[in-house]
Amino acid sequence: MSTQTAAIDISKIVRVVPRNRNIELMLLLFAMGINAYELAQIQLSTIAILTWDLLSYWAPLAVASLLLHLLLRFRAREADSLILPAAMLLNGLGVAEIYRLDLAAIANGGTELFGMKQVIWTVVAIVAAAAVIWFIPSHLFLRRYVYISMVIGLVLLISPMLPFIGKTINGAHLWLAIGGLTFQPGELAKIALTVFFAGYLVTRRDSLAVVGPKFLGLQLPRARELGPILAIWAVSLLVLVGERDLGTSLLYFGLFLVMIYVATGRAIYVTVGLGMFFTSAFLASRLMDYVSGRFDAWLNPFDSAHYDAIGGSYQLVQGIFGMAHGSVIGTGLGGGVPQLVPLAESDFIIASLGEELGLAGIFAILGIYLLIVARGARIAFNHNDDFSKLLAIGLSFVIALQTFIVIGGVTRVVPLTGLTTPLLAAGGSSLLANWIIIGLLLRISDSAKSGGSR
């Protein structure tokens, strides 16, 4: 065989099996091993024996993520190699901890279990991410549906306030109940609104960057360019008042402020926007019983006047005690008592993990989230067109801000909200939305000029 022929054959092999896909496979296998170890440790710590049930919680996630990896080899060969293993690692840890809480519930005679539901929803969510990769050849086609995305996002956002199908859970009107299925449409709304923000800000960037008059030494934007901020602020207030949820309101308004700052480079929009939001939140804390209760439980969690309220300071204090019990290195998976915290599998799964993995484990979890967000920022940097940059930044920041709001609530940095920790907490709608975000980031990274993660 000639040297030239050998070189051609080698180049074909390299094109068929990109280096970043092989890196992804190795990291996926590592994540699967960690997930199997987590489940095994939980069984040995709680029931002192390994059973075949372990496979029913491990195999579906492992097989689904491997199939998604194989799909990427054919449909998005240059996609980022770190996002999928990181997402799988978080999702697997969430499934393991929820399974651990189920074992504690069974030991105490409980019948409401969440582990297998989480496994099923995980498979459905990964299939949805695979559908994004398969059916969307290029994310740029989304730019043609910017205003349709706006309509879809707003409809999803306000739909829980509709009669008959809207449902109130734990004091927040965030759910739709159709038949026996409950769903949180706001989770999908954040994707649609991110697409709208990206498309809108690309077309309006130049006019938004134009400066207006000065006030107290600050160069203000022109009055008509404040319209988008006022509109999104009004929608956030509608969510705050109508759905009684401070976290969702902060998530959407914060997302828009970050994207408008990235689009224009003008910090004044963030300053004005945050001033408007915190002013409205302060007024709501004085005028609305629900919001004032959240603030009181946040500021005075050990006050006996609030301590008996499930979802209020009782939940917060139990979570704080649990994390204190875990200290730096934790009690080990299966070694704590996280079941003492209300909603330990969903709203307070971080407190459960903080008790059993300790401060070191929480830092590791935050590091994985930071990795996903950093890869999203890298994807944005690798693109030349502004729509791709804004879309990648927006999708990444959704995960970052939601993680901050939830973990900040559990650790008393901010008031508690009804949001769930991305990829970790129990909840089908949250899993579905966040895996779709993972799929979109993988699709965007595949078309980056520099070749994804290379």
**Inter-residue contact 23 to 71 (CB < 8 Å):** no
CA 438, 406, 43: angle at the middle one, nearest 5? Answer: 75
Q: Is the pLDDT of residue 237 over 60?
A: yes
Q: What is the helix (H) or strand (E) element at residue 441, kind and residue range? A: helix 428-446
User: pLDDT tens, 369-389?
Assistant: 999 999 999 999 988 888 999
**41 or 283, higher pLDDT:** 41
Mean pLDDT to the nearest integer, 391-405: 93
Q: Which amino acid is at 99?
A: Y
pLDDT over threshold 50, residue 216: yes
For 59, 127, 282, the CA distances from 99, given in Å and listed in that order, are 14, 22, 39
Q: Average pLDDT in the 250-274 region?
A: 82
In the predicted model, what is the mean pLDDT of residues 57-68?
A: 96
* Range among 44-48, 124-128, 171-175, 333-337 with highest mean pLDDT value: 124-128
- What are the sequence ranges of the domains in the chain? 3-446
Residues β-bridged to residue 169:
172
Token pair of 232 as six digits: 């999104």
Q: How far apart are CA 36 and CA 56, in angstroms?
A: 11
pLDDT in the model for residue 311: 44
Overall size of the chain counted in residues: 454
Alpha carbon distance 423, 109 (integer Å): 28
DSSP letters for 208-265: HH-EEEEETTEEEEPGGGGHHHHHHHHHHHHHHHHS--HHHHHHHHHHHHHHHHHHH-
The yes-or-no verdict on residue 354 having pLDDT over 50 is yes
Chain-centre distance of CA 138, in angstroms? 23
pLDDT at 219 over 90: no
7 — pLDDT class (breaks 50, 70, 90): very low
> Is pLDDT above 50 for 153?
yes
Kindly state the average pLDDT of the residues 16-45: 90
Give the separation between CA 212 and CA 444, rounded to whole angstroms.
35
Q: 178-205, pLDDT tens digit by residue? A: 766 777 888 888 899 899 888 888 887 7
Portion of the chain with pLDDT greater than 90, in percent: 41
Q: Could you give the C-alpha distances from 312 to 198, 284, 317, 319, 351, in angstroms and in order?
A: 36, 17, 9, 11, 15
> Residue 241's pLDDT is what?
66
Between CA 300 and CA 306 the distance in angstroms is 8
Most confident of 5-9, 12-16, 102-106, 267-271: 102-106
Cα separation, 304 vs 313, in Å, equals 9
Q: Residue 240 and residue 453: Cα distance in Å, rounded?
A: 39
Strand-strand pairing, 218-221 and 166-169: unpaired
Q: Which pTM value belongs to this model? A: 0.89
Provide, for the chain, the percentages of residues in helix, strand and coil under a 3-state DSSP scheme, each rounded to the nearest 5. Answer: 70, 5, 25
* Candidate from 28-37, 76-85, 89-98, 180-189 with smallest mean pLDDT: 180-189
For the chain, give the mean pLDDT: 83
Find the range with the poorest average confidence among 151-155, 185-189, 245-249.
Answer: 245-249
Q: What does the pLDDT average to over 434-441?
A: 96
Mean pLDDT of 92-102: 95
